[in-house]
Amino acid sequence: MPGYVKARVRALAVLGIAVLVLAGQPASSQTSPQRRASEFTLGNGMQVVVIPDRRAPVITHVVWYRIGGADNIAGQSGLAHFLEHLMFKSTARLKTGELSNVVARLGGRDNAVTTHDATYYFQRLPKEHLKTAMTMEADRMRNLKLVNEEVATERQVVIQERRSVVDSKSLAILDELISAALYLNHSYRIPVIGWGPEIPKLSRELALEFYNRFYAPNNAILIVAGDVTEAEVKKLAQDVSNIDPASLWAQRATLLVVNPAAKTGDTKPADTGLSFKAPGK
């Protein structure tokens, strides 16, 4: 056997032995992906999730509430979204709009979103201001004033929002009609922003009842992502979590909008079809 052939055979033999050795190693010694996120629960029932990210000295602070547009009862569509707007109004410690002004002054940004299933509020700030974000969120979680004048003003804002993002856009109207037909017997058929005729009927009393029932620490999830550790978040969260845990939220029950004319009993698999216009002769 020529020398170069022998060398090649030896190289292949060594490679084969190495593969067998690696294959025989226990699974625990092999590299496995590490879980970045960690979580814990505060004494008041709030779940906390921490996602470290050291790429920049900033943090994103998000409070999620397990409540959304699908939880509005019949005749009160848009209430969850309406309360999201009101959460930026005055509290026991903050003036109307002060939370956003503080965040902007510290070099950050904030916003909020309501979906069918949840409502969340976030701030993105330099890491040294995490406690400020936590303190302001804790304040508006239980100390929102809901002054009549502010409620009336914000209701008009929501009415104008619907006119601009839905009523004036044919595709948005089509989307509402499709959802209403698709989710015939489910509350997903109701737009998160609310039906046009029902938004003007949303009152301070309805918003306050909704707020007291669902805006509590044990119905919320705090997510902090950025240049922090679990220990740092836990210490800060415990310092500002002195919210009375006695104000426990009522059991959440997603309300189905049942069509009384719908047939009950056994159902058959639904048919799927397409319809389209075609040119005639």
Tokens found for residue 262:
């719908």
Listed residue (267, 223, 192, 227) closest to 57, CA to CA: 227
Please answer whether residues 42 and 160 qualify as being in contact, where contact means their C-beta atoms are separated by less than 8 angstroms. Answer: no
The set of residues, in sequence order, having a beta carbon less than 8 Å from that of 166 and lying 6+ positions away, is 172, 173, 176, 191, 193, 196
Is 161 a known active-site residue? no
Residue 155 to residues 78, 95, 98, 266, 270, Cα–Cα distance (Å): 10, 18, 19, 43, 40
Tokens 């056994």 -> residue:
266
Q: How far is the C-alpha of 276 from the C-alpha of 233, rounded, in Å?
A: 56
Between strands 58-65 and 109-114, the pairing is: unpaired
Catalytically annotated residue among 39, 84, 150, 205:
84
The set of residues, in sequence order, having a beta carbon less than 8 Å from that of 55 and lying 6+ positions away, is 227
Please answer whether residues 150 and 86 qualify as being in contact, where contact means their C-beta atoms are separated by less than 8 angstroms. Answer: yes
Tokens found for residue 197:
């005729």
Q: How far is the C-alpha of 230 from the C-alpha of 137, rounded, in Å?
A: 19
Strand ordering across the sheet containing 109-114: 38-41, 47-52, 220-226, 58-65, 119-126, 109-114
Q: Letter for the amino acid at 233?
A: V
Residues noted as catalytic: 84
